[in-house]
Structure 1
Amino acid sequence: MKLLKSLTIAAFAVTTLAASAFAAGHTKTVVETAIASPDHKTLVAAVKAAGLVETLSGDGPFTVFAPIDAGFAELPAGTVETLLKPENKAMLQKVLTAHVVAGKIMAGDLISKIEKHGGYLNIKTVSGDVITARVDSKGVYIFDESGGVSRVTTADVESSNGVIHVVDDVLVPK
């Protein structure tokens, strides 16, 4: 398991270097950091439509599993457009807050906790849903309550009020 942990942390270290392009230091909030990312335009639009900018710009700390635009594009046709409608604001808030955990969980700490819990770690999100983290030789995976899985592609993008782990797919709460 130590070798697995070392390999996984090494993989995260490599992807974290790529994160510096959109992290720009620790003076930006998680929202400002996402705004600076070329791969999070849909997420930023959704956060704005859901009225969560002020909340996610607060003190935190927050851990955000931030799906990339390509992850949103994989949702069934019309899903994003439907969620962005004002009458669906509560549903959009639930989807987005299912990607947010109270507290700051760095990748190394997450991996250690997963290992201590037998390879899987259940994590309660701000929405009240539970996501499950799992680690293997290829990386860290996050499972949602609907059976979907998302891979962490970039870890430990620090901000002034938390940390972002970029994921390749949208987590869908029940």
Structure 2
Amino acid sequence: MSTMTNTNSKNLLDTATANGSFKTFGKAIERAGMSDTLRGVGPYTVFAPTDSAFEKLPAGKLDNLFKPENKEELVSLLNYHLVSGRKTVADIGKWESARTVNGQPAPITVANDKVSIDGAQVTSADISSSNGVIHGIDKVNIPTKQ
């Protein structure tokens, strides 16, 4: 892994949106009313499920989460993908679990130099932004407690 330099002037949300692989994640952040958090000071480490990760959810799950009455559940789910601070994959690989903003720890495993968080493999690591870092993951992690 290369050393992360903070050369990106875009915030986490704008960086994710510009990436092209995180369109659904960006929509979810907007629906949850969390845009200001990811545009704020931070720093945060975001484990952002790719669009293809969202497509793996059971049919109707995402539409259901996007309903106004399920906003709290959506916020909880998204907060399970956030960690306070700016952490590279190399940093995270040393942990047994990540303390998520949701409050529920997410288990970290490393196998064949690949880092996974709660079973979701990091597919694109260390995407720098002005207020944190994004790691693309291949699965949407669902917290067990809301």
Note if 1:151 corresponds to 2:121: yes
Name which of 54, 61, 64 aligns with 1:82: 64
Deviations 1:49-91 (CA, angstroms, capped at 9, x unpaired): 0000001111111000000011111111000000001111101
Give the SS at the match of 2:28.
helix
Counterpart of 2:143 in structure 1 is 173
Query: 2 CA distance for matches of 1:157 and 1:39?
Result: 12
Name which of 117, 139, 143 aligns with 1:142: 117
Cα pair 2:92 2:98 within 8 Å, conserved? no
Query: 1 CA distance for matches of 2:104 and 2:44?
Result: 15
Cα pair 2:47 2:137 within 8 Å, conserved? yes
Counterpart of 1:98 in structure 2 is 80
Number of aligned positions between the proteins: 142
- One-letter amino acid matched to 1:164: I
Counting helix residues as a fraction of each chain, which structure ranks higher? Answer: 1
Counterpart of 1:20 in structure 2 is none
Q: Report percent identity of matched pairs.
A: 41
Counterpart of 2:103 in structure 1 is 128
* Unmatched segments (≥5 aa) in structure 2: none
Shift of 1:170: 0.4
- Larger-gyration structure (1/2): 1
Structure 1: 4+ residue segments shifted above 6 A: none
Give the SS at the match of 1:164.
strand
TM-score (norm 1): 0.78
| Equivalent residue runs for 1:99-114 within 5 Å | 99-111=81-93, 113-114=94-95
Give the SS at the match of 1:75.
coil
TM-score (norm 2): 0.92
Cα pair 2:13 2:38 within 8 Å, conserved? yes
Q: Aligned-residue CA RMSD in angstroms?
A: 1.6
- One-letter amino acid matched to 1:63: T
